[in-house]
């Protein structure tokens, strides 16, 4: 993996390893390359995002004569860029001469931070930083970036948020086992006693504001904090919520494809029809289609599932 030569010439190099990459109008990040994985560090050095950007032909020349399409994979909750779907997408993009980017949110994989300290604000910001990185590289070549977002579970929700916040930058969204409005749905599964504890407590850092949530795909239950729940209210898509300030008055210009297993044991398939209906109601004229995968579970990682994902991606390449 190589950082853009133009970015290197423009912004210089620090101690032979770090390259400052400008985003929009200012130099806001530092990139550190280590083998295949690179690290994106915020201007205040308050985070370090691990990511992989695979550009076909980068050993010859960066972006010169290449397609301006980038497939960006957005992971699910407590997943990382080492997963089956991510690896399959990377191989497929390489085979088809398409750039591919994946990353770990804060509190996940090789990135900095602790899961319990993170919120939807953090993870949306992390995905937005990666999108800014792709777009700014395109600007270096005087090209408009063509970004296809593929989001798994929570990543599908975040992908839709990015598409709403950046309607001119995203050419398509593909959701896999889409957990849209996940934080609200999880809150609704809490007991009345648990909800009362949250409603009566003002100490957001208190251990009483964290409840353990089980998943059939995790060995151990994970902590679900009140801060995580409340932050999700800023991005609710399927609910008419005046608190959704993160996506208010936004446009959804790109086509959306949902792939969902009819045996999904985390997000029932009926919810994806509800999500599609809500999106069509809020953003009339949007091309939204659902493909239900027979015997598919939440992960959608079998060979047949991956083939369906790649076939859907083909529609936009």
Chain segment 199-253, per-residue pLDDT in tens: 776 555 555 578 888 888 888 889 999 999 999 999 998 876 555 666 765 778 9
Which comes out higher in pLDDT, residue 290 or 58? 290
- What's the whole-model pTM score? 0.86
pLDDT, one tens digit per residue, over 163-180 is 999 999 999 999 999 999
Say what the pLDDT of residue 5 is.
Answer: 35
Say what the pLDDT of residue 127 is.
Answer: 96
Contact 70, 103 (CB under 8 A): no
Q: CA-to-CA distance for 12 and 187, rounded, in angstroms?
A: 47
Residue 118 in this model has a pLDDT that exceeds 90? yes
Say what the pLDDT of residue 65 is.
Answer: 43
Q: What are phi and psi of 255, to 5 degrees?
A: -70, 150
Residue 51 in this model has a pLDDT that exceeds 80? yes
> Which residues partner with 172 through β-bridges?
148
Say what the pLDDT of residue 2 is.
Answer: 39
CB contact set of 13 (below 8 Å; sequence gap of 6+):
19
Contact 49, 113 (CB under 8 A): no
Residue located via tokens 């590289």: 137
Q: Kindly report the length of the chain.
A: 317
pLDDT, one tens digit per residue, over 70-107 is 999 999 999 989 889 999 999 999 999 999 999 999 99
Residue 59 in this model has a pLDDT that exceeds 80? no
């Amino acid at each position: 993996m190589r950082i853009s030569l133009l970015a290197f010439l423009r912004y210089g190099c620090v101690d032979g390893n770090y390259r400052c990459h400008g985003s929009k109008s200012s130099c806001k990040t530092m990139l550190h390359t280590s083998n295949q994985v690179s690290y994106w560090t915020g201007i205040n050095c308050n985070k370090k995002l691990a990511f992989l950007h695979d550009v076909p032909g980068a050993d010859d020349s960066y972006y010169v004569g290449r397609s301006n399409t980038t497939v960006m994979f957005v992971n699910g909750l407590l997943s990382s860029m080492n997963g089956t779907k991510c690896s399959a997408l990377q191989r497929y993009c390489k085979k088809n001469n398409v750039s591919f980017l994946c990353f770990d949110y804060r509190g996940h994989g090789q990135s900095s931070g602790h899961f319990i300290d993170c919120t939807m604000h953090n993870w949306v910001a992390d995905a937005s930083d990666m999108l800014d990185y792709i777009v700014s590289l395109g600007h270096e070549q005087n090209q408009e970036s063509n970004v296809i977002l593929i989001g798994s579970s929570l990543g599908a929700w975040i992908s839709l948020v990015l598409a709403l916040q950046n309607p001119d930058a995203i050419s398509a969204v593909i959701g896999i086992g889409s957990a849209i409005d996940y934080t609200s749905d999880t809150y609704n599964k809490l007991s009345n006693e648990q909800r009362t504890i949250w409603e009566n407590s003002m100490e957001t850092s208190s251990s009483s504001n964290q409840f353990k949530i089980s998943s059939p795909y995790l060995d151990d239950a994970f902590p679900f904090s009140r801060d995580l729940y409340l932050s999700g209210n800023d991005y609710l898509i399927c609910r008419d919520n005046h608190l959704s300030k993160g996506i208010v008055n936004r446009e959804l210009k790109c086509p959306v494809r949902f792939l969902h297993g009819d045996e999904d044991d985390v997000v029932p398939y009926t919810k994806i029809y509800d999500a599609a209906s809500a999106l069509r109601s809020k953003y009339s004229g949007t091309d939204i289609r659902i493909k239900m995968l027979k015997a598919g579970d939440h992960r959608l990682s079998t060979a047949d599932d991956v083939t369906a994902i790649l076939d859907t991606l083909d529609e936009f390449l």
